[in-house]
Amino acid sequence: MSDHAKHAVRAQFGRQASWYAVSAFHSQSEGLGELIRLAAPTSEACALDVATGTGFTALALAPRVGRVVGLDLTLGMLREAGRLAADRGVSNLTLCLGDAEALPFWSSAFNIVTCRVAAHHFPDLPRALAEMARVVKTGGRVVLDDTCAPEIPELARLMNDWELRRDRSHVANHPPSRLRAMLEQSGLRVRAATMTQVPQEFEDWAQRGGVPRGEAAELREQMRGAPPEAQAAFAIQVDGDRLQFAWDEIVILAIKQ
């Protein structure tokens, strides 16, 4: 990951860590449940959660595996993860400061590798996926869960523009076909994929991104006035001052051959 990109990620998530620690979406969602199902954790397994953030995925894995490591680039997020683990009495979670594109672990070290709602921040996602493939054992599982862009390029560009205006550390949401292809190109074999949706409430979404009030108002109006095809694709609904929408989310299971 470039130094500029690392700085953007650390600045964004160091500043907003406390918001993510109380995010209902990050702590519990349909996608998280599907990730756990596809990861198929066992009590003997050693798991790695890449870009763990405040640790919700690692904490969901912890009671189901022998050991879990949560890795993140941002110290502030790891501090929140450590606090949450202590509050829950979790003792088999190790937190590690590190870069998803240069994982500080031996090859074939883990039975399970997960990455949830973070891949859209990676400047070199193929490299990060190759690292996940490297550190998982043969026959092991890599489960990638992320919001994803529509397959229609114009809608994908609009979604990514909105996300970048909200969060300068955003790189790209990719369509499902591209995510599958990148996993396959990393030497993994895609075995299953589940599509879900992430309901969003504009105020919460903007606050988690730390959007200044004036910029948030401009972004709100752009979403309210989006073309009909975007309104439909992103399930945009306006009720008085309340604006709701939804991003598509995909959970993909890939196996190391």
Whole-number average pLDDT of the chain? 92
Burial class (CB in 10 A: 0-12, 13-18, 19+), 194: middle
**Residue 207 covered by a domain:** no
Q: For 53, list phi and psi in degrees, rounded to 5.
A: 60, -130
Domain that holds residue 144: 3-155+168-199+248-256
Structural domain includes residue 160: no
Q: Which token pair is 192?
A: 């299953």
Going through 65-210 in order, the beta strands assigned E by DSSP cover 67-72, 93-97, 110-116, 136-148, 188-201
> Is 71 within the bounds of a domain?
yes
Residue appearing with tokens 């964004």: 12
Has this prediction a pTM greater than 0.75?
yes
Model confidence pLDDT, tens digit, residues 153-207: 999 999 999 999 999 999 999 999 999 999 999 999 999 999 999 999 999 999 9
* CATH number of residue 106's parent domain: 3.40.50.150
Domain-embedded: residue 213: no
230 belongs to a structural domain: no
Whether 242 is in a domain gets the answer: no
- What is the average per-residue pLDDT within 52-65? 97
So what's the pLDDT on residue 20?
A: 47
Q: What is the pLDDT of residue 2?
A: 55
Q: Into how many domains does the chain fold?
A: 1
Q: Is residue 141 part of a domain?
A: yes
98 domain residue, yes or no: yes
